[in-house]
Amino acid sequence: MVAGLTVAERQSAITVSALVALCGIAMAIGGRDDLLGVHGVIVLIAGLSCVFLVLAKYFEPEPSDERLTHYYDDPTKVGIVLALGWAVIGMFVGVWVAALLAWPDLTFDAAWASFGRLRPVHTSGVIFGFGGNALIATSFHVLQRTTRARLPDQFSPWFVLLGYNLFCVLAASGYLMGLTQSKEYAEPEWYADIWLVIVWVVYFLIYIRTLQRRKEPHIYVANWYYMAFILVVAVLHIVNNLAVPVSFGHAKSYSLFSGVQDAMTQWWYGHNAVAFFLTAGFLGMMYYYLPKRAGRPIYSYRLSIISFWGITFMYMWAGSHHLHYTALPQWVQTLGMTFSVVLLVPSWASAGNALATLNGAWHKVRDDATLRFMMVAAIFYGLVTFEGSFMAIRAVNSLSHYTDWTVGHVHVGALGWVAMITFGSFYALVPWMWKVERMYSPKLVEVHFWLALAGTIIYVFAMWNSGIIQGLMWRTYNDSGTLAYSFIDSVVPMHPYYIARAVGGLLFLIGAIVASYNVAMTIRMARVRTTAQGAEIDQPALPAAAPVLQPGE
């Protein structure tokens, strides 16, 4: 890591890490009577560790100018490993909270282990820890390949990657201590939010600086999506998290907005976190790795354009469909529903584009589990966007909202689309990054594929069933015109489905563990071979690294 930095970059690394450590000290002192102090200590430790990490290697020789002839992939490698680590943690906690609903006394009377505190650890762990690290890692890789330009410097990618992970650690540890602002998918408190803004601005600057240095005249499709992801997530994050802290010594803050306006802002954020974090970002991944792995150009350039601008424009309107029949003015609800239904068009444009790209490569899909991951991801993307548009319709939403159907729906997206495209991309990317011909075990990729698919299907069917049963029981009337069931009557039949969900989640978790093992062994295999041969091989020199795909194809 450090050996790849120039002396000037090492100095800025030390300066920035020391500043972070100072912030940690300030937080620890200012918040000594509050849980903020605990986070101050964590920030301090993170900053100091980075200072020592750089200092330990400070006097090593600088990298030669030869480094400029190839891409900078070290942050991508570390990002992949971090993503897999978060996947295992996040999914493990997911299985745990699923089990808590079937066996509520698994909390052993400890506050940190109760459902309400573990649930956000699960959602943030998988969305931001696993998903976010995967997006950062792959975006650095894709950005360089599609622009044929090196990242602008070697320090800022590390700042983004490690700074982002510090945010994730603050989030997860905060939830366990009870620090949350209760906004779904935006639970971290004000100081973590401010830190994320700083990290994110640097991320955007890396992107734009690399694009300005590009040797390709056109900006490749995948980069449109990654850019929309970076830009819009920044806007959403800042507006939704506007809040007034109790004091600079308190972790607690109060949202600037209240009631109905807060609800609309929150769902505008929440729905578009799905759109721009969990969809646009991963579409960027898909638009690069799927054609690359299939060895075929993207089926249609025009469909890419339609899909991109359709998603960018229409998703922002759709958030209010989460608030049907509530105290939100009805005109906003109607707009949300309308745009959600139309949104099917750009969504299916991308799903169709991906599947049509595979036309002529179906034999590869049959033989190659990596490509199959990507294909199944595209299918699930099509399914989940159809389901989403359907569930946004008022009449359907009146039944599905507040039930497990919604949980099932988001997991069709999370397991079937987001995780599958990520694993597919990782299996393609890992051998390229570590310069080996293939993964350590293609057999284990195959095993992982079936575990993931089985886990997703069990999970989703369990939740569809329980959600619809729940929704129907709530609105069932008996002959005398009164409600047929009390609320608790509708809780009892959920039990077998909650167990089934835990089983489905467990299969998915085992798959992620298999993937981590496979990646670890691939890295080891690469190390062994590099030592044996005594030199790095097949480092793609820039002039030779002509992309297989030309932009716009």
Partner 1 sequence: MAEFFHRRLERSAIGFVLAIIGVSAIGGFVEIAPLFTIQETVEEAPDMRVYTPLELAGRNIYIREGCYACHSQMIRTLRDEVERYGPYSLAVESKYDHPMLWGSKRTGPDLARIGGKYSDAWHVAHLINPRDVVPQSVMPKYGWLMRNDLRTGDLGRHLAAQRAVRVPYSDAMIANATADAYGQASPDSPYASGVSERYGEATNTRAFDGDPGRLTEMDAVVAYLQVLGRLTDAAHRQTAAAER
Site for partner 1 in 398-427 (CB under 8 A): 398, 401-403, 406-407
| 114 near partner 1, judged by CB under 8 A | yes
Q: Which is nearer to partner 1, 293 or 321 (CB)?
A: 321
Among 247, 359, 539, 550, binds partner 1 (CB under 8 A): 247
- Minimum distance from residue 157 beta carbon to partner 1 (Å): 18
Q: Which amino acid is at 425?
A: S
Distance CA 483, CA 478 (A): 6
| 450 near partner 1, judged by CB under 8 A | no
Cβ 14 vs Cβ 55: under 8 Å: yes
* Residues in 276-305 at the binding interface with partner 1, rule: CB under 8 A: 301-302, 305
| 395 near partner 1, judged by CB under 8 A | no
Binding mask 174-203 for partner 1 (x = CB under 8 A): -x--xxxxxxx-------------------
The CB-side HSE value for 369 (13 A sphere, CA atoms) comes to 19
| 98 near partner 1, judged by CB under 8 A | no
Among 438, 477, 520, 550, binds partner 1 (CB under 8 A): 477
Q: Which is nearer to partner 1, 20 or 36 (CB)?
A: 36
| 320 near partner 1, judged by CB under 8 A | yes
* Residues in 486-515 at the binding interface with partner 1, rule: CB under 8 A: 487-488, 491-492, 494, 498
Token match 């199944």: residue? 376
| 117 near partner 1, judged by CB under 8 A | yes
| 349 near partner 1, judged by CB under 8 A | no
Q: Is 478 exposed, middle or buried (0-12, 13-18, 19+ CB in 10 A)?
A: exposed
Token match 């890692």: residue? 137
Distance CA 508, CA 109 (A): 28
Give the CA diameter of the chain.
Answer: 85
| 38 near partner 1, judged by CB under 8 A | no
Which range binds partner 1 by CB under 8 A, 82-90, 292-300, 321-329, 510-518?
321-329
Could you report how far apart the first and last alpha carbons of the chain are, in Å?
35
Distances in whole angstroms, Cα of residue 134 to Cα of each of 82, 91, 127, 221, 532: 8, 15, 10, 18, 30
Q: Is 461 exposed, middle or buried (0-12, 13-18, 19+ CB in 10 A)?
A: middle
- Minimum distance from residue 19 beta carbon to partner 1 (Å): 27
Tokens of 155: 């320090």
Which range binds partner 1 by CB under 8 A, 23-31, 192-200, 222-230, 374-382?
222-230
Among 309, 360, 367, 536, binds partner 1 (CB under 8 A): 309
Q: Which is nearer to partner 1, 117 or 372 (CB)?
A: 117
* Cβ atoms within 10 Å, residue 57: 13
- Minimum distance from residue 153 beta carbon to partner 1 (Å): 17
Q: Which is nearer to partner 1, 116 or 540 (CB)?
A: 116
* Residues in 523-552 at the binding interface with partner 1, rule: CB under 8 A: 551-552
Q: Which is nearer to partner 1, 19 or 235 (CB)?
A: 235
The sign one gets for the Cα dihedral 431, 437, 441, 446 is positive
Among 335, 342, 457, 513, binds partner 1 (CB under 8 A): 335
Q: Which is nearer to partner 1, 184 or 536 (CB)?
A: 184
Token match 């750009």: residue? 346
Distance CA 419, CA 507 (A): 13
Cα 342-345-346 angle, rounded to 5 deg: 110
Distance CA 56, CA 52 (A): 6
Distances in whole angstroms, Cα of residue 436 to Cα of each of 48, 278, 430, 528: 35, 30, 8, 11
- Minimum distance from residue 233 beta carbon to partner 1 (Å): 11
- Grouping H, G, I as helix, E, B as strand and the rest as coil, residue 61 is coil
Q: Which is nearer to partner 1, 26 or 177 (CB)?
A: 177
Q: Give the dihedral of Cα atoms 91, 95, 101, 104; nearest 10 deg.
A: -110
Which range binds partner 1 by CB under 8 A, 49-57, 213-221, 366-374, 530-538?
213-221
- Counting residues that bind partner 1 (by CB under 8 A) gives 102
Nearest to 203 by CA among 143, 262, 263: 143
Q: Which is nearer to partner 1, 275 or 369 (CB)?
A: 275
Binding mask 248-267 for partner 1 (x = CB under 8 A): --x-xxxxxxxxxxxxxxx-
Which range binds partner 1 by CB under 8 A, 132-140, 217-225, 433-441, 532-540?
217-225
Tokens of 126: 């998988």
Q: Which is nearer to partner 1, 64 or 258 (CB)?
A: 258
Q: Which is nearer to partner 1, 71 or 315 (CB)?
A: 315
Which range binds partner 1 by CB under 8 A, 10-18, 85-93, 101-109, 531-539?
101-109
DSSP assignment of 355-385, as one string? HHHTTT-HHHHHH-HHHHHHHHHHHHHHHHH
Q: Which is nearer to partner 1, 37 or 116 (CB)?
A: 116
